[in-house]
Amino acid sequence: MELSGQDDLVRPCRIKGILHAHSRWTDGAHSLASMVETAREIGLEYLGISDHFLSSAHQEGMDIDAAAVQLAEIQRLRDLYPDFDLLQGIEIDANPDGGLPLADDVLGRFDYVIVAFPENGGYDPDTFTGQVAQVARQPRVTILSRPLGDLMLRKENGVLDMETVLHAAAEGRTVIEVTANPTGNKLDWSNCHLAQELGVLMAISPDAHRAARLVDFRHGAELAREAGLRCSSVLNTFSSEELREYLNNS
């Protein structure tokens, strides 16, 4: 997959799927079936549903039993749409010390694991950087989510040493999610360029809580293209087979 030059720059039509979306199983507005139907309608090959695991911040989250029932529904939808891959991810919150709230064998039941950092506001920069880097090094962690993408794209983020985080992500083969939210400050892509140099993959994700938001990846991909990010650095440009292979080996 060694490509270079203009043709390899990411663009909306190169995005094959979405890996961060929520359904009515937790705090999403729409059913799993509606999310899948919309993803298919907008031309995606796969959708990863990453509903929240139960936590103090997500009381609506699923427990292990609910996740097992959700998996049965996912399997039913896989059978209904054999040309479309539906993945069962899980979104969990990192512990303040950089640990994870679930054991490895539980995390291993999901196709991939997204970790979010909901409490960063109260930490000093060193503590927060240490927490994120610790999470990034863990093999079970697939994607680092909020607020990493926003901090990646903010020139002076003031709370996170992104270089340290990116080196840890390279070590743990952990993907960093770029939400490319168009609101707010002027975006600075230099950290994304560093990620690209270090071989750290990024995922362009809408964190869609409703079906209509799935298409937001297009805006992120346009911005990423202008910034010079290549498809080979963006996990969700992988085909569904390449993605499965990546997930099985990481």
Contacting residues toward Zn ion, per CB under 5 A = 91, 207
Q: How far is the CB of 146 from Zn ion (least distance, A)?
A: 7
Q: How far is the CB of 69 from Zn ion (least distance, A)?
A: 20
Q: Which residue has the tokens 């099985």?
A: 248
Return all residues near 156 (Cβ < 8 A) that are at least 6 apart.
none
Length of the chain: 250
Q: How far is the CB of 190 from Zn ion (least distance, A)?
A: 26
Q: Could you tell me the two tokens for 218?
A: 């297009």
Main-chain phi, psi angles of 166, to 5 degrees: -65, -35
Q: Which is nearer to Zn ion, 88 or 196 (CB)?
A: 88
Q: Which is nearer to Zn ion, 114 or 169 (CB)?
A: 114
Q: Which residue has the tokens 């059978």?
A: 79
Q: Which is nearer to Zn ion, 172 or 206 (CB)?
A: 206
DSSP E strands in 3-59: the ranges are 17-18, 46-52
Q: How far is the CB of 156 from Zn ion (least distance, A)?
A: 26
Q: Which is nearer to Zn ion, 45 or 207 (CB)?
A: 207
CB 160 within 8 A of CB 144: no
Q: Which is nearer to Zn ion, 114 or 221 (CB)?
A: 114
Q: How far is the CB of 22 from Zn ion (least distance, A)?
A: 6
Q: Which is nearer to Zn ion, 90 or 223 (CB)?
A: 90
Pairing of strands 46-52, 202-204: unpaired
Q: Which is nearer to Zn ion, 85 or 207 (CB)?
A: 207
Nearest 5°: CA angle at 94, between 91 and 98?
145
Q: How far is the CB of 199 from Zn ion (least distance, A)?
A: 25
Rounded to the nearest 10 degrees, how much is the dihedral formed by the CA atoms of 184, 190, 193, 194? -120
| Residue in the shown chain whose Cβ atom is closest to Zn ion | 207
Report the C-alpha gap between 31 and 147 in whole angstroms: 26
CB 53 within 8 A of CB 102: yes
Q: How far is the CB of 2 from Zn ion (least distance, A)?
A: 32
Q: Is 192 exposed, middle or buried (0-12, 13-18, 19+ CB in 10 A)?
A: buried
